[in-house]
Chain A
Amino acid sequence: MAVILKNEINKQVPLNGGHRMCPGCPVPVIVKQVLMSTDHPKIVANATGCLEVATTIYPYTSWNVPWIHNAFENAGATISGVVAAYEAMKRSGELPEKNKDAKFIAFGGDGGTYDIGLQSLSGALERGHNFLYVCYDNEGYMNTGIQRSSATPIGANTTTTPVGKKSWGKTQPRKDLLSIVAAHHIPYAASVAPHDYNDSMAKSKKAIEVNGPSFLVYFSPCIPGWKIASDVSFELSKIAVQTCFWPLVEIENGEWSLTGDSKRIAEGKKEKLPIEDFLKTQGRFKHLFKPKLQEDVLKIIQNDIDKSWNFYKKMAGYTD
């Protein structure tokens, strides 16, 4: 299903300009892709983080949809309460007609999702509320000044895993949140990269419209956190997929598949690029290349990427 942008441009966007996100930050684009993927009325809950902070600095809000922020670690629980309220008010006949068809979407960064908010997310998924949780994964606690999270990739320089005489950055690989979420056996989960808006919006639409909890994890470059130029996020998004750093995965009712370039790579229709092509683009990995090439570390990272790529290929049925 291709998205025809001409049909989108005259619709109201969910998030206005005038927010205080960094120039070039892809998160507002992610919000747009998710919320514009379907015409249902939408209610949004937002975990504390860049998106929440920068879009609602009192007395301004960028949001054109009903929106609630509660705290950092509880977007899953907060949206659970909202969904429950709607269910109850639907039954009591109190809910305005226009809200009857509403869909519920929670946004959180990787801090609020992989780490401090994982319990709340898991609880909400297990309880089966009808909502979509979107994690914009910028691979670190960027809102508080670029500290490592469990989503930070191995080798990255962060303020709590700084590169030093005895350190080459974070030494642990990323947590596989998608698999953790998939283990809840929810009807729909997927990983998404925002450069491929056709894939992103198709997945968003499915996720929002499916009956039951659903989940998207979005590749989301951070301009200051990754030490990149403000105009490269979407190009990086493409490279992340092509190096298999960010496989595009879809899990529908327990059936795993690959989509977009990931599918093409798995099927041998497209070349899998070496991880250096991804790492070289970002200041957070600069120490792996300068002052001297750290081949041993690069090897560790490539091995890690291959391991995870092989896992997803296997889950999607390409290998045994």
Chain B
Amino acid sequence: MTTKYEALTGAEAAALAMKQINPDVVAVYPITPQTPIVMKFSEYVANGEVDTEMVRVESEHSAMSATVGAAGAGARAMTATAANGLALMWEIVYIAASTRLPIVMGLVNRALSGPINIHCDHSDSMGARDSGWIQIYSENAQEVYDNYFMALRIAEHKDVLLPVMVCQDGFITSHSVENVLPLEDAQVKKFIGKKNFKGLLTSEKPYTIGPLDLQDYYMEHKMQQHDAMKHVIPVIEKIQKEYAETFDRKYEIIEEYRTDDADMVIVGMSSVMGTVKDVIDMMREEGIKVGAVKPRLFRPFPAEKIKNVLSKFKAIIILDRSDSFGSFPPLYGEILASFFAAEKKPYIKSFIHGLGGRDTNVEMIKEVISELQKLRDTGESNFTIDYLGVR
């Protein structure tokens, strides 16, 4: 294994992972801040470093449509998008999942208009949370890179056969150069293996893909999707374990940070959790027993695990990078639901942060921790939702 770090942005890490996967087909349309993935991958194609048939489509709708066509025909097919691009492909995002095509899509999280904004939040992927895709969230460029390979294995697993979104934070991760430790091409090839799903349009007998499915069978097909999602968590655990054993890189579905003796934690996803970890280290020096919990998987939601992890604490604050107007922010809402049947419930509070790329800085996280202490001690703000850093 290489031990040499490279300076890569999250987008470059994604493109490098795609190059090493060497997919049969990539159909993609550029959108900020996903563009550097497309540009870098185009370079790989231009230089003959991949065997990929690249389809430079005329819209995201066609990107996902062509990806579905390619995957249906039996190709390892990938795409990437962000925000409004994901919104434009929305209809086909559902079709990809319900047709059970193991597509891997890079999603560079960006605020979904309007007003138009090109910076990070999770409103795009959270809107697609019920589309039937698996969603993995990455904290930094290294995680982005590693997640791609695991995502491919998860998507193509015979018990799963569902598409996967590998999410990274727009600009914050996608455009930030960080240390990334790449794997050798041969190692990647060996880990991802040969595709084990059938080419439905190259089969011995002609198949019909995507028929009209009415009242008499539609629910049976939905039940199959429902059931497939139940297999995902054990499959991910197995693949993460294999990844750790093969490459000495350990990933958990729910990552805990300094929780051993903590009585309160911050829960959140993606890049903000790096900042949270640093602030926790600072607070620890002041004797404040705070920790962090980072779900890497949002769909399927690891409800049982999250309940088990979080029920150890007296108070928890959930950081959501998107709102669900008129209801509970997504991560907060899922965690509330996970606790419904629990006997022991911590005090819980929600902060919505970082919308449209608003910098969630160290001072804000300190404020969250101070709120957390109050919550732990008094329970006063239990079940409240606030915006962090809004004027």
Contact = CB atoms under 8 A, between A and B. Distances in A.
Given A58-B213, A80-B57, A66 B202 contact: yes
B212 interface: yes
A79 B75 CA distance: 13
A123 to B, nearest CB: 3
A301 interface: no
Given A66-B206, A88-B53, A80 B66 contact: yes
Contacts of A259: none
A99 B74 CA distance: 12
A291 to B, nearest CB: 41
Interface string A47-81: 00000110011110101111111110110111111
A228 interface: no
A85 interface: yes
Contacts of A45: 69
Interface string A275-310: 000000000000000000000000000000000000
A45 B201 CA distance: 10
A84 B58 contact: no
A196 to B, nearest CB: 29
A70 B75 CA distance: 16
Contact of B68 (A63, A70, A87): A70
Contacts of B57: 77, 80, 123, 127
B73 A81 contact: yes
B74 A89 contact: yes
Most buried by B among A69, A86, A88: A88
Interface in B7-40: 24-25, 27
A127 B55 contact: yes
Contact of A74 (B52, B72, B92, B201): B92
A50 to B, nearest CB: 11
Contacts of A177: none
B206 A64 contact: yes
Given A66-B201, A66-B206, A77-B61, A85 B53 contact: yes
A57 B215 CA distance: 11
Most buried by B among A59, A67, A73, A92: A67
Given A71-B65, A80-B66, A91 B206 contact: no
A80 B51 contact: no
A211 interface: no
Contacts, number: 167
A68 B61 contact: no
Interface string B193-233: 00000011111101111111110110000000000000000
Question: What size tier do the contact residues of chain A reach?
Answer: 35 or more
Interface residues of B, number: 46
B69 A120 contact: no
A77 B213 CA distance: 22
A65 B206 contact: yes
A120 B67 contact: no
Given A84-B27, A89-B75, A70 B92 contact: yes
B70 interface: yes
Contact of B59 (A87, A123, A126): A123
B201 A81 contact: no
B57 to A, nearest CB: 6
B365 interface: no
B201 A68 contact: yes
A171 interface: no
A77 B62 contact: yes
Nearest to B194: A94
Most buried by B among A59, A64, A85, A126: A85
Given A66-B202, A66-B203, A91-B51, A85 B24 contact: yes
Contacts of B24: 84-85, 88-89, 92
Given A57-B212, A99-B202, A84 B75 contact: yes
A43 interface: yes
A124 B92 CA distance: 17
B66 A81 contact: yes
B366 to A, nearest CB: 48
B364 interface: no
A58 B220 CA distance: 12
Contacts of B91: 71
A78 B74 contact: no
Most buried by A among B27, B52, B69, B206: B69
A95 interface: yes
B55 A84 contact: yes
A78 B69 contact: yes
B55 A81 contact: yes
Most buried by B among A53, A80, A81, A122: A81
A119 interface: yes
Interface in B41-60: 51-53, 55-59
B203 to A, nearest CB: 7
A69 B68 CA distance: 10
A89 B52 CA distance: 10
A77 B69 contact: yes
Contacts of A124: 62
Interface of A: 43, 45, 52-53, 56-59, 61, 63-71, 73-74, 76-82, 84-89, 91-92, 94-96, 99, 119-120, 122-124, 126-127
Considering the complex of A and B, which 8 residue pairs feature the smallest CB-CB distances, nearest first?
A81-B69, A81-B66, A123-B58, A77-B62, A56-B211, A85-B75, A77-B65, A85-B73
Given A45-B69, A77-B57, A127-B55, 7 more contacts: A66-B203, A68-B200, A71-B95, A77-B62, A81-B27, A119-B62, A120-B61
18 contacts: A45-B69, A56-B210, A56-B211, A58-B212, A67-B206, A67-B209, A80-B57, A81-B27, A84-B27, A84-B75, A85-B53, A85-B70, A85-B73, A85-B199, A88-B75, A91-B53, A92-B24, A123-B58
